[in-house]
Amino acid sequence: MLELIVTSTLNGVLFGMLLFLMASGLTVIFSMLGVLNFAHASFYMLGAFFGFQISRWFGFWPALIFAPLLAGAIGAAVERFGLRRVHRNGHVAELLFTFGLAFAIEEIVSIIWGKVPVDFRPPELLDFPAFTIFSTNYPAYKMFMLAVSIVIFVGLLLVLKRTRIGLIVQAALTHPHMVGHLGHNVERIFMLVFGVGTALAAVAGVIAGPSLVTQSNMAAMLGPILFVVVVVGGLGSLPGAFIASLLIGLVQTFAVSVNGSLASVFGPLGPDLAQSWLSDIWNVTIAQIAPIMPYLLLVLILIFRPMGLLGTRET
């Protein structure tokens, strides 16, 4: 039991931090431009595939630096030549633009790298067990993932709260005209924030690629969960996104390891449902419904706290 709790907590925190790496970029972009970037998970996927390709040519460490830079540059270009153009047509048009973009990126990736998973491995330097808990070896690479996530989280907080750049960015969120009058190029700030946000997603892609599966539907698998994180945490709230990421990471990993069902708990009391279609609900294990846990959480949050955990506004 203790073993299960310890390993599930570790895995849950790990997955949660990865989610947060992506959700942080998404949240910052949302609060600046007012649009949820539907293609954000696609930049995570681009990061993973660029990382795979660069690590094949030059090794893993250059990939960790250049893949996010490349994806961030693409992100900045998307803002400059796409989003800025549709901005005047309203938020729905912006959301639709990123939706189309996500669709196109998935198609392009599956054309270039195929639909089957690619062989993206952790670097040899980190290919050893870091420590052993209850006879389970813990790979060093997972610890490295955790470390990178934490470093970026702390770095992001420091930049946003303690530096001049962070001050300008925060001011541009609420008072873009005033910041413009003070002589800052607000359009360029938006472009840079979009680039940095997508680059953060790509960092998550590079470090998650070797550990999870790198394939052309990874964006479509993770994208919806990412939006659950953002809505549950409260739209536009960075601390909220942090709590929601960890919550969803933990809920999902714990659910996977629990094998109980309604039938196993209430079995002796329950009526005989073997024949009716309710037997599905009766017999399904918690491990089986782990994939839909985030969405259940979303529905519950919407019913009981529509603005999200730490959100301040309704929309």
Partner 1 sequence: MTELASRVAPPRPALSDRLKFYGTWVATALILLLLPQIFTSGGSMTTFSLVGISIIFALSYNILLGQTGMLSFGHAVYYGLGGFLAIHAINLLGGNKWAIPLPLVPLIGGMAGLFFAALIGWVMTQRSGTAFAMISLGLAELVASSALILRTFFGGEAGISANRTKLFKVFGLSFGPQIQIYYLVAAWTLIAIIAMYALTRTPLGRMCNAVRDNPERVQFVGYDPHVVRYLAFCFSGFFAGIAGALAAINFEIANSAYLGAVQSGTVLFAAYIGGIGFFIGPIVGAIFVTILSLGLSDLTQVWQLYFGLFFIAVVLFAPGGITGLLMMHRPLIRAGMLSRMLPSYLVAALPTLALVTGLMLMIETIVHYTVNPHEDPNRVAFGIPFNAASPLTWAISAVLIVVGFVLCRMAWARVGQTWDETLTAARAKVHAL
- Give contact residues for partner 1 (rule: CB under 8 A): 30, 34-36, 82, 85-86, 89, 91-93, 95-97, 99-101, 103-104, 107-108, 111-114, 220, 224, 227-228, 230-231, 235, 277, 279-281, 284, 288-289, 291-292, 294-296, 298-299, 302-303, 306, 314-315
User: Does residue 235 contact residue 313 with C-beta atoms inside 8 Å?
Assistant: yes
Q: What is the 3-state secondary structure (H, E, C) of the chain?
A: CHHHHHHHHHHHHHHHHHHHHHHHHHHHHHHHHCCCCCCHHHHHHHHHHHHHHHHHHCCHHHHHHHHHHHHHHHHHHHHHHHHHHHHHHCHHHHHHHHHHHHHHHHHHHHHHHCCCCCCCCCCHHHCCEEEEECCEEEEHHHHHHHHHHHHHHHHHHHHHHHCHHHHHHHHHHHCHHHHHHCCCCHHHHHHHHHHHHHHHHHHHHHHHCCCCCCCCCHHHHHHHHHHHHHHHHCCCCHHHHHHHHHHHHHHHHHHHHCCCEHHHHHCCCCCCCCCCCCHHHHHCECCCCHHHHHHHHHHHHHHHCCCCCCCCCCC
- Kindly state the smallest distance separating residue 136's Cβ from partner 1, in Å: 29
Residue closer to partner 1 (CB basis): 25 or 68: 25
Written as six digits, the tokens of 89 are 């047509």
**Nearest distance from residue 110's CB to partner 1, in Å?**
9
Task: Please state the closest distance from residue 215 (CB atom) to partner 1, in A.
Answer: 15
Q: How far is the CB of 95 from partner 1 (least distance, A)?
A: 6
- Which is nearer to partner 1, 13 or 230 (by Cβ)? 230
Handedness of CA 80, 202, 41, 26 (dihedral sign): negative
Q: Which is nearer to partner 1, 211 or 252 (CB)?
A: 252
203 or 243, CB closer to partner 1? 243
136 vs 279, beta carbon nearer partner 1 = 279
CA atoms within 13 A on the CB side of 43: 34
Our CB check for partner 1 shows the closer of 3 and 107 to be: 107
> How many Å apart are CA 294 and CA 255, to the nearest integer?
11
Residue 291 CB, nearest approach to partner 1 (Å):
5
Q: Which is nearer to partner 1, 124 or 314 (CB)?
A: 314
- Output the smallest distance, CB 302 to partner 1, in A: 5
Residue number, 114 or 260, with CB nearest to partner 1: 114
**Least distance (Å) between residue 92 CB and partner 1:** 5
What size, in residues, is the chain?
A: 315
- For the bound state, the minimum distance from the C-beta of residue 280 to partner 1, rounded and expressed in Å, comes to 4
